[in-house]
Amino acid sequence: MSFRPLKFKTIPADKLADRSSRFRRQLSTRRSVRHFSKKSVPLGVIKDIVMTAASAPSGANQQPWSFVIIGDQKIKRQIRVAAEKEEQSFYQNRAPDDWLERLAPLGTDWRKPFLEDAPFLIAVFKQIYGIESNLRIKHYYVEESVGIAVGFLLTAIHQTGLVSLTHTPSPMGFLSQILNRPANERAFLLIPVGYPKEKTTVPTITKKTFEEISDVL
């Protein structure tokens, strides 16, 4: 492996606080949205967002992720039908009472119209192992790597001016079948992306304070 000089521009110390504060305030306005407009979004924008996610660090730079961008209405319909089948079973048969109590104030149920309304869905898959020259290659830190990439993805969506939702129907095996994914991939997350529907509301929530989440030693 070859090496090259790091491209790094030092920011003056007196500007660091302003940059970090502005970015924190901007990202703190991100909200999960369940009501999407059908307004179109350029495919090139979604591609840029995905490539931002793909710039994330990963264990041994193995990049154990795949992103499937879904804009076809028929495929989105298939995904919604399959997801609602799993979600209805979960809400009615499998979900523990305490979890349903947690979800109740948010107003969610098994119905997922956003899977058809959003102009694009991004299905994120984790590669549980790699394939090189027809040989199976062990991947390291898969969950951590894909989780970091999704963080990049959500940040890129927000910074671009769009909204999203992290959707995790359980189980998600139907995504591999509908999208015809290879055997080394497992569905990790399904993310609708687009503009919010007019007059969309979101729950009034708060985030934990610095003191609640951090220690300085």
Write down the domain spans for the chain: 43-213
User: How would residue 110 be classed by pLDDT, with cut points 50, 70 and 90?
Assistant: confident
Question: At residue 106, does pLDDT exceed 80?
Answer: no
pLDDT in tens, 7-42: 999 999 889 999 999 999 999 999 999 999 999 999
Q: Can you give the pLDDT at residue 154?
A: 98
What pLDDT score was predicted for residue 133? Answer: 87
> Which pLDDT belongs to residue 132?
87
Question: What mean pLDDT, rounded, does the chain reach?
Answer: 93
3-state SS, residue 207: coil
Cα-based distances in Å from 142 to 17, 62, 185, 186, 209: 33, 9, 11, 11, 30
The model's pTM is 0.93
Tell me if the domain spanning 43-213 has CATH number 3.30.360.10. Answer: no
Mean pLDDT (whole number) for 101-109: 77
Amino acid 76: pLDDT: 98
Task: Summarize pLDDT for 141-177 with one digit per residue, the tens.
Answer: 999 999 999 999 999 999 999 999 999 877 889 999 9
pLDDT for res 82:
94
Phi, psi of 104 (to 5 degrees): -50, -45
In sequence order, what are the residues at sequence separation of 6 or more whose Cβ sits closer than 8 angstroms to the Cβ of residue 162? 41, 45, 49, 193, 194, 195
Residue found by looking up tokens 């300085």 in the block: 216
Count of CB atoms within 10 A of residue 160's CB?
Answer: 15
Residue 205 neighbours by CB under 8 Å, 6+ apart = none
Alpha helices (runs of H) in the chain, residue ranges in sequence order? 13-27, 43-53, 73-89, 97-103, 114-117, 142-160, 173-178, 210-213
- Cβ burial, residue 187 (10 Å; 0-12/13-18/19+): buried
pLDDT-derived band of residue 102, with 50, 70 and 90 as boundaries? confident
pLDDT tens digits for 51-96?
A: 999 999 999 999 999 999 999 999 999 999 999 998 888 788 787 8
pLDDT tens for residues 197-211?
Answer: 999 999 888 999 999
Where b means 16+ CB within 10 Å and e means fewer, 130-140 reads eeeeeeeeebe
